[in-house]
Each structure stands twice: as structure tokens, then as C-alpha cells.
Amino acid sequence: MKVDTARFLADLNDLRRIGAYKTGVHRPTYSAEDMESRRWLMARMEECGLDPAIDGIGNVIGRHRGPGPHLLAGSHIESQNQAGWLDGALGVVAALALARAGLPVDVAAWADEEGHYGGFLGSRSYIGELSEEEIDRLANRYHGKKLREALREAGLEGKPRLALEPGRHRAFLEMHIEQGTQLESAGLRIGVVTGIVAIWQWRIVIEGSQDHAGGTTMAERRDAGLTAVRLLAEIDRHFPTVCGPRSTWTCGRIALEPGAPSIIPGRAEILFQFRDVEEEVLRRMETRLRALIQESNRREKCPARLEPMALSRPALCDPALQSALAGAAEALAPGAWQHMPSGAGHDAQYLARHMPAAMLFVPSIGGISHHWSEDTKEEDLALGVEVLAKGAARYLAG
Amino acid sequence: MKVDTARFLADLNDLRRIGAYKTGVHRPTYSAEDMESRRWLMARMEECGLDPAIDGIGNVIGRHRGPGPHLLAGSHIESQNQAGWLDGALGVVAALALARAGLPVDVAAWADEEGHYGGFLGSRSYIGELSEEEIDRLANRYHGKKLREALREAGLEGKPRLALEPGRHRAFLEMHIEQGTQLESAGLRIGVVTGIVAIWQWRIVIEGSQDHAGGTTMAERRDAGLTAVRLLAEIDRHFPTVCGPRSTWTCGRIALEPGAPSIIPGRAEILFQFRDVEEEVLRRMETRLRALIQESNRREKCPARLEPMALSRPALCDPALQSALAGAAEALAPGAWQHMPSGAGHDAQYLARHMPAAMLFVPSIGGISHHWSEDTKEEDLALGVEVLAKGAARYLAG
């Protein structure tokens, strides 16, 4: 089994021409460019001896014609607006390269991972977690077009939706750019992903009294903004003692009302999230957050309350798959790889609910992602697909 | 000398009918209702034997006909939108009551203290700190009408502006509602104002790196929001050690950019102000603020810079005037008064630059101000005007 890395790079550059924008691409889900890229992919699948099909949500799946056991591999092919050429496309073209190398792989391009209409529509549809009611309801987040209308215009209306075939696939593999700088800063070329983090997103609401900043003494005040600052400072002090080695926590917004220079804030709203691949770590962080809020409510005159906005589940990568990929990485790039979590979401997190799944990362130059200047060195792209293929072969043989 | 408190209360209630809104009033500067109230005032001045005049900025001044030494007393007569019946009006009608009682008082209603067009236009014009260029430039903050046009519609175009007559006035007196709850909570009825606080308003700008909250480790981050929280927590910890007994400090806004749940803030902008009547205390607070920012810049990866937005001057009330008012308060309401600063701005702060000035506060029920439900007990209003008159007489005799 030998991967044709030159052909792989040529395919990537070929696909890059569809919806080209500067050095990146602009292929929003179901746009003319996106649909052209799906047709391009189906033609490539034919060439590799796969049976291509496009379904009612836009998923393109190329079915291996031979006997199993099979692997499923892929990613998404649409892009964010005026974004990079590799995000999504890399995983799809890498899966194609595996099939071309003779591995028993079904290749998938999952629709709308990027969330122009809903996020992860294709992978969720495939595992049975996208209802017709949700499709009725969804609309484009930028221009408001209804999803049903977009599907009709793309010629997908009325097509059946493809679904998971229990027992057909031994595992799902997704190659992706890192979208961060960890590999680059460590001088590494491959990341074997341990899991895709869960995001626990909270809203913290603090109620005080809106008063004039001139007429109200410090002792009389019920300053919701000050309570917010004290609480966030406590979180900053305490979270390092309960987090895991790769946890992250972020306060993205602090809104004080009414937000005027001379008015004591009567209300504060904080957006706060934390991420980890381990449920136990997430629960530990939640416990500490709740304790800090309780402590704040004992100490402060402005009560704070915690509202969960979205609590996703972490998706752990399969240990045997990780081990096969790690073995391949060590064979092809000794010492130049590491295990690492994925901080961002990927289609693999949905597939992982139904089969062993794993992901392989290659470095992002400067960590740039969701921008047209996103890039990765050709030798890293080539090494990545070789590790992916070797890992897949090891896993199937193991 | 005897103040007719019944007539004083009757005048206040008479004025309240002009532009009545619920239990408050709506008399924006230069509106029909505002101009009607100015004509009403000029008629009352005539009755008291004063020579009334209205000038090119809308100031109404009733000149005492007898020999000096004279006092100047008053406040403003326009209101905030849909606001209270006492703010401004009280000080004007109290000054009228002094003149009616035979005290040698010139009565003034300064235009646009409330800032519909600029803030303190009348008192600034009177002391020579309002240029024609500024009048050309100003427009209504709510509906954008140019000040020149408003003056023309109000029939004030081309009228000369009245100016301070050096040597004519021994002092300026302004009675006002407290606009806070300090008197009420302490069970007191009179506040002898020690000074009008200066407001030192700053913008603190912190520059970080906008990154994805999933892909960027805690160690790699340059989170401008986190630096802002740490700095504000340090201010909260340090300011009580440098402030004066009546200082206040307020963070009214924390804007994190872009303000999204999953994006590490690349920029933070803080609106921060402190207030005190003493320059020395203000300078001490500034010094500590600068030291905390310097310390933050040594410790943090995101640099913070301090930008002054507006640094006003405190206006200290004249000690002899304060002492005359305090003596009168102790005589009429023994033990039921206190010295206190004014946290809000008043016309007196501009007059104080050119003559001894003082202010007298009466309680605000529930501290409510700039709202139609603003109110003060009738007995407190009556006591206030009696203290003001007795204090004025004592000062003139002293």
C-alpha cells in the first residue's frame, strides 16, 4: 500500500480552484461553488473505483465496492466565508487518497459542518440526529434563506438522506489542520488527537441597583459590575487548581447595563465557557464555578445566578485507533508528533457516538484558521496523509 | 426678615403646572414649556420688585433695585425629559423667596444646566466661558436640532448675553435636592455642601490577541479581557487605601471585542472614573491608578494604556458661607443637618470660580432623581428655604 502524495496534493490544488478567493476559498454551504465542489468530488470518487452518491442534505458518500471490513473517512467540503483552502477539504481529499491507495475506505464529505445553516448537518443527519422539523426551521445565519429553499435550489429536494449502516464500518478517520499553534511552537509535524473537547457554555447574570455614580456612596452601592469583576478574578485564581492539563476557560463578554460612564451598573451579564475532553474535569470545573458563585452570593450585595447555555459532550478518540496512528507517526516521523486534544468541534465528534473514531492533525502555519491566508507546508500535508494511511492499514491489520 | 414659606410652596406648585408630566415635569431647554416657565419667572420677579431680563442664551436674571452688597442666588428652570418637579426649580423659587423676604438678592435661572444642548450653558455664558463658536457647534443631544435654530425659535436670537458684573455680588447661593439617600438614611433634613466633586473620567484600553477559544492554550493566550478583570480587581483592592472619606469610583463599562462566547477578547475598553472634592485626593487616586497600570504592564502579556477623557475641577464651597448656613441649620434644625459633598454637578461650580459660593441640600425621598417621581417632603422644602434665608442674612451681617 502506497499513497500517491503527488496526486493527493494535485487533487487538493485542483479543488482549491473552485470558489477561489485570494489564496483561500469561498464555498458557503449549498452555494454554486459548494455544489460544484461536490460534483468534482463525485467524479474523483468514480476514478478511484468508489460508488458516489449525494443525498438529501448534501452529503457526498463514495462507497467502496469491495468486501469489508471497511473504514469510513472524510470531513466537509464547504468552507466558511472567504476562508482557507484546507479546512475540511484536507480531510475529504486525504480520505480519497486512502481509497486511491487501495484501502477499503468509504469516503464522506459531510454537509454544512461550518454552520451556514445549522452546523454539522451532514454528520448529524447520517447518525439520525437531524429531524425533518429542524430542517423546516433552519435558515442561513448570514442572509436568512430557509434551508428548505437552499436544498431545492441546489437540486437536493426530495432526495433520500443516507444513513449509517450498522456493522459496515469498523471506524471513522478524519484528518484536519490543527487551527492552533501547538504543533508549530513545539516544532512537531503530526498531532494524534485524544478527543474533541466538550464546551460548557454558561451565562452568569448579576443583579444590582442602577444608581448615579455621583450621588451614591461606596457603602450604599449595589454595583453589579464590581461583583462581576470580583467573581471573574476568583475564577481566574481558582480554575488553575481544578483544571486538567489541556483545559481552557474563556470569558468572551462582560456586558454592564446601562454601560454609561456615570451610572453604577444595575446588571451584569457574563459569557463564560470551559472546555475539556474529560467529563470528570468538566464536572470538577462546574463544581468549583458553582462554589465560587455561592461564595460570591454570601459575600456580595448583588446576587449572581448561573444559567447553562449549551453543554456539549466530549468525544474521546478510540484508543486502538490512536495507537495505530501513533505507531504510524513514530515510524514515519520519529519524535516529531504528539498526542493532543482538539479544541474545536469536528464531524468526528458525531461519528464517534456510533463507531470508533480518531483524528489526525497537521500544523497550521501561524495557527491561522477561518481566514483565506490559512496554510500548511506541502511536506506536512504529504506526511499527514501517509501517516493516516499507514495508521488505517495498521488498525485494519490489528 | 421672614420667609413666606406658604407662598414659596405655592410658587413651586404653580411652576409645576408648566409642562406637567405625571407628578413631575417635562421642560426641555428652549421648548415651549421651558420658555413659558421663564416668562412665568419674570412675572414673579416683577412682583418681588426685581428687574427681570432674559438674555441671548436664555438666562433669566432678576436684578435687585436697591443698594448692595448683593447676593446672587438661583439654579436652573428647565428639566431633564419627563423628570422631577424640584431639580433646578427648587433653587430658583427659593432664591425668589429670599428676594420676596427683602434680602438684597439677584435671582438667576441659568439656561440648559441639564445639557439638552451642551450643559451649564447659562452659568458658563455668564462667567465668560461659552464662546460663539461653541454655540455655533452645539446641537440637541436627543433630536439634533442646532442650538442656533433653537435660540431663534425661542425668540432669543440677537439678544445680548448677560455677564458677570465684577464687584456686584458677595456670593452665590444654590439650594437643591440631594439626589441621593445620605440625608434620608441618616434621618437628617439639611445638608451644607462642602464642595462639588470633580469627575476624573478615564478610558483604559488593553490590547491582546483575538484567538479561537478552542485552539489556543491558556499559556499561549493574550486575553485582553482577563487583563482587564485583573486590573479592575486590583483597583478594587487598592482604592480604599488611597481614597478620601467621600470619594467614589466607578467602572461603568467593560467592552470586550469581539464579545463572542468562543473568541478570546483581542481588545478591552474600560470606562473608569473617580470623584472627590479635594484635588489632593484626586491626584492620589490618579497616582495609584497609574501605578496599578504600570504593575499590570509588568505582569501581563496584554499592555494597558490610560487615556484621560475629562478631568473637571472640584469647586470648594466658601468656608464663611458654609459656616453661616451651618449656623442657620443648627438654629432651625438642631442636630438634624450635616456637612456633605455634592456628587453631581451644579451651576454653583461655575459661579464658584468667580465669587464665594455655597449650596444647601434637602433630602430626596428614596434618593430618586431625574425621574418624574422625584419628591421631597413639604416640611423639608420649607425648612430648607428658611435655613437658606437665615444663612444668607447671617453671611451679609457677618
How many angstroms away from the CA of A265 is the closest CA of chain B? 6
Q: Does B209 touch chain A (CB under 8 A)?
A: no
Question: What pLDDT is stored for residue B370 in this prediction?
Answer: 86
Residue A297 grid cell = 452570593
Chain centre distance of CA A384: 19
Question: What pLDDT is stored for residue B215 in this prediction?
Answer: 83
pLDDT tier at A1 (50, 70, 90 boundaries)?
Answer: confident
Q: Are residues B153 and B110 both part of a single domain?
A: yes
pLDDT tier at B207 (50, 70, 90 boundaries)?
Answer: very high
Per CB-CB distance under 8 Å, the chain B contacts of A213 are 248, 250, 252, 273, 275, 343
pLDDT exceeds cutoff 90 at B12? yes
**pLDDT tens per residue across span A244-288:** 999 999 999 999 999 989 889 999 999 999 999 999 999 999 999
Mean pLDDT of chain A: 96
Q: Does A307 touch chain B (CB under 8 A)?
A: no
In degrees and rounded to multiples of 5, residue A204 shows phi and psi of -110, 120
Q: Which of B259, B280, B311 is the last residue of a domain?
A: B311
Question: What pLDDT is stored for residue A211 in this prediction?
Answer: 86
What percent of chain B has pLDDT above 70?
Answer: 100
Q: Are residues B148 and B50 both part of a single domain?
A: yes
pLDDT exceeds cutoff 90 at B273? yes
Say yes or no for a CB contact (<8 Å) between A254 and B250.
Answer: no
Per CB-CB distance under 8 Å, the chain A contacts of B250 are 213, 223, 261-264
Q: Are residues B372 and B350 both part of a single domain?
A: yes
Nearest to B359 by CA among B106, B45, B99, B75: B75
Alpha carbon distance A91, A79 (integer Å): 13
**pLDDT tens per residue across span B130-154:** 999 999 999 999 999 999 999 999 9
Q: Are residues B318 and B301 both part of a single domain?
A: no
User: What is the DSSP code (8-state) at residue B109?
Assistant: E
Q: Which of A258, A277, A311 is the last residue of a domain?
A: A311
Across the A/B interface, how many CB contacts are shorter than 8 Å? Answer: 183
Mean pLDDT of the B12-20 span: 98
Alpha carbon distance A63, A47 (integer Å): 12
Residue B370 grid cell = 431625574
Block residue for cell numbers 450621588: A215
Strand partners of residue B198: B276
Block residue for cell numbers 446576587: A303
Q: Are residues B34 and B169 both part of a single domain?
A: yes
Q: Does B279 touch chain A (CB under 8 A)?
A: no
Residue B163 grid cell = 455677564
- Beta-carbon count within 10 A of A18 CB: 21
Say yes or no for a CB contact (<8 Å) between B214 and A343.
Answer: yes
Q: Does B216 touch chain A (CB under 8 A)?
A: yes
Asked whether B147 and B138 are in contact (CB, 8 A), the reply is yes
Q: Look at chain A and report how many structural domains it folds into.
A: 2
At A187, is the secondary structure helix, strand, or coil?
Answer: coil
pLDDT exceeds cutoff 90 at A222? yes
Alpha carbon distance B385, B68 (integer Å): 22
CB burial readout A93-125, b (16+ within 10 A) else e: bbbbbbbbbebbbbbbbbbbbbebbbebbbbbb
Mean pLDDT of the B370-392 span: 97
**Amino acid code (one letter) for B338:** Q
Mean pLDDT of the B32-53 span: 98
Say yes or no for a CB contact (<8 Å) between B214 and A252.
Answer: no
pLDDT exceeds cutoff 90 at B212? no
Per CB-CB distance under 8 Å, the chain A contacts of B269 are none
Question: What pLDDT is stored for residue A317 in this prediction?
Answer: 97
Q: Are residues B91 and B165 both part of a single domain?
A: yes
Per CB-CB distance under 8 Å, the chain A contacts of B185 are 220
Alpha carbon distance B121, B118 (integer Å): 6
Asked whether A363 and A387 are in contact (CB, 8 A), the reply is no
Q: Which of B267, B296, B311 is the last residue of a domain?
A: B311
Alpha carbon distance B294, B276 (integer Å): 23
Chain centre distance of CA A288: 27
Mean pLDDT of the B5-30 span: 98
How many angstroms away from the CA of A242 is the closest CA of chain B? 14
Say yes or no for a CB contact (<8 Å) between A344 and B236.
Answer: no
Q: Are residues A43 and A190 both part of a single domain?
A: yes
Q: Any alpha helices (H) in chain A, and if so which ranges?
A: 5-16, 32-47, 89-100, 121-126, 132-137, 147-153, 182-186, 224-242, 279-299, 319-332, 348-351, 378-397
Question: What pLDDT is stored for residue B362 in this prediction?
Answer: 98
How many angstroms away from the CA of B218 is the closest CA of chain A? 6
Mean pLDDT of chain B: 96
User: What is the DSSP code (8-state) at residue A341?
Assistant: E
Alpha carbon distance B263, A343 (integer Å): 12
Q: Any alpha helices (H) in A53-146, and if so which ranges?
A: 89-100, 121-126, 132-137
Q: Does A309 touch chain B (CB under 8 A)?
A: yes
Query: pTM, whole model, 2 decimals?
Result: 0.84
User: What is the DSSP code (8-state) at residue B364?
Assistant: P
**pLDDT tens per residue across span A40-76:** 999 999 999 999 999 999 999 999 999 989 999 999 9
Question: What pLDDT is stored for residue A212 in this prediction?
Answer: 85
Alpha carbon distance A315, A196 (integer Å): 5
Asked whether B192 and B329 are in contact (CB, 8 A), the reply is yes
CB burial readout A199-225, b (16+ within 10 A) else e: bbbbebbbebbbbbbbbbbeebbbbbb
A43: domain CATH number is 3.40.630.10
Q: Are residues B73 and B217 both part of a single domain?
A: no
B307: domain CATH number is 3.30.70.360
Alpha carbon distance A293, A348 (integer Å): 35
Q: Does B66 touch chain A (CB under 8 A)?
A: no
How many angstroms away from the CA of A94 is the closest CA of chain B? 22
Q: Does A320 touch chain B (CB under 8 A)?
A: no
Question: What pLDDT is stored for residue B342 in this prediction?
Answer: 95
Q: Domain range spanning residue A115?
A: 5-196+316-397
Instruction: Suggest the residue from B80, B204, B227, B250 to mutate for an interface test with chain A (most A CBs closer than 10 A).
Output: B250
Q: Which residue of B has its CA nearest to A345?
A: B214
Q: Does B186 touch chain A (CB under 8 A)?
A: no
In degrees and rounded to multiples of 5, residue B71 shows phi and psi of -105, 155
Mean pLDDT of the A2-10 span: 97
- Beta-carbon count within 10 A of A287 CB: 11
Q: Does A266 touch chain B (CB under 8 A)?
A: no
Question: What pLDDT is stored for residue B1 in this prediction?
Answer: 82
Q: Are residues A105 and A135 both part of a single domain?
A: yes
Q: Which residue of A has its CA nearest to B210?
A: A252
Q: Which residue of B has its CA nearest to A227?
A: B233
**pLDDT tens per residue across span A338-380:** 999 999 999 999 999 999 999 999 999 998 888 999 999 999 9
Question: What pLDDT is stored for residue A43 in this prediction?
Answer: 98
Asked whether B378 and A251 are in contact (CB, 8 A), the reply is no
Q: Does B382 touch chain A (CB under 8 A)?
A: no
Asked whether A346 and A113 are in contact (CB, 8 A), the reply is yes
Q: Does A326 touch chain B (CB under 8 A)?
A: no
Asked whether A268 and A256 are in contact (CB, 8 A), the reply is yes
Q: Are residues B282 and B362 both part of a single domain?
A: no
Asked whether B107 and B54 are in contact (CB, 8 A), the reply is no
Mean pLDDT of the A311-319 span: 94
Question: What pLDDT is stored for residue A370 in this prediction?
Answer: 86
Per DSSP bridges, beta strands A20-21 and B304-311 are unpaired
Q: Are residues A259 and A370 both part of a single domain?
A: no
Say yes or no for a CB contact (<8 Å) between A199 and B214.
Answer: yes
Say yes or no for a CB contact (<8 Å) between B213 and A252.
Answer: yes
Question: What pLDDT is stored for residue A398 in this prediction?
Answer: 86
**Amino acid code (one letter) for B100:** R
Q: Which residue of A has its CA nearest to B196?
A: A214
Per CB-CB distance under 8 Å, the chain B contacts of A240 are 218
Interface of A with B in 337-366 (CB under 8 A): 342-345
Alpha carbon distance B375, B381 (integer Å): 10
Alpha carbon distance A18, A224 (integer Å): 51
Instruction: Kindly report the three-state secondary structure assignment for every residue of A265-323.
Output: CCEEEEEEEEEECCHHHHHHHHHHHHHHHHHHHHHCCCCEEEEEEEECCCEECCHHHHH
Sequence length of chain B is 398
Q: Does A251 touch chain B (CB under 8 A)?
A: yes
Terminal CA-CA length for chain B: 16
DSSP-assigned letters across all residues of A227-252: HHHHHHHHHHHHHHHH--TT-EEEEE
- What Cα–Cα distance (Å) separates residue A189 from each residue in A218, A364, B133, B165? 56, 10, 66, 82
Q: Are residues B188 and B207 both part of a single domain?
A: no
Question: What pLDDT is stored for residue B27 in this prediction?
Answer: 98
Per CB-CB distance under 8 Å, the chain B contacts of A345 are 214
